[in-house]
Amino acid sequence: MTQPVRILFVCLGNIIRSPLAARLFEREVEEAGLEGKYEADAAGTADYHVGQAPDERMVRTAARRGFHYTHRARQIERSDLDEFDLVIPMDLENKTDIEALARKPEQRAKIHLLREFDPKAHGALAVPDPWYGGPSGFEDAYDIIERSARGLLEALEAGKLP
C-alpha cells in the first residue's frame, strides 16, 4: 500500500489558522473519497499556545457554517521537515521561520504558502491572522482557508505537487 502524502499546515500559535486548515483539508479529502491518500496535521512556529485547543472565536465561526473540529496546539520541530511531504505556512513570516529550520534544499522545496492555492488570491500571499480583529476577520480567514484547502487538494490530484 502506498504511504499517504503527509501535509503540515503552520501558523504562528497553532490555534486559529493552521488547525482550521488541516481539518478543512481533511474534510475536502473525505468529500472527494480520498481517505487514506492524504494526512494532515498542524503546528505553530511559536510555543505560546502549546497544548491549547483552537481559539473559540474560530471554533464559533466554523460552527456557524456547520463545521466542527478539534486540535491541540504544538510547535513545529525540525524533524517535521523530514516527516512531512509538504509544509504549508499561512504567511511570509511563518514561511521565513520554517525556512530557518530547514537544513537541506529538499526540505525548503516542501514549503508552499497556502494562498498559492487560493483561486481568489489575486497576488495576496498571506492568510490574514484574525487574532486582533473582530468577527469579520475570522469569517474572512475561514473563507480564504476553505478555498485554499480545496485548491491545494486540486493541485495535488492534478499532479502539480508531490
| Integer-rounded Cα radius of gyration of the chain | 15
129 among known catalytic residues: yes
- Options 17, 57, 115, 150, the catalytic residue: 17
Choose the catalytic residue: 74, 129, 147, 150: 129
Per domain, the residue ranges of the chain are 5-157
Q: Identify whether 17 is a catalytic site residue.
A: yes
Task: Look over the chain and give the mean of its residue pLDDT values, rounded to a whole number.
Answer: 97
Give the residue from 88, 83, 81, 85 showing the smallest Cα distance to 22: 88
Render pLDDT for 31-51 as a digit per residue (tens, 0 to 9).
999 999 999 999 999 999 999
80 confidence band (pLDDT: 50, 70, 90): very high
Bridge-partner residues for 86, per DSSP?
7
Q: Give the pLDDT confidence score for residue 1 in this predicted structure.
A: 60
Instruction: Please confirm, yes or no, whether 118 is among the known catalytic residues.
Output: no
Confidence of residue 2 (pLDDT cuts 50, 70, 90): confident
Domain 5-157 carries which CATH code? 3.40.50.2300
The C-alpha atoms of residue 160 and residue 38 are separated, in whole angstroms, by 15
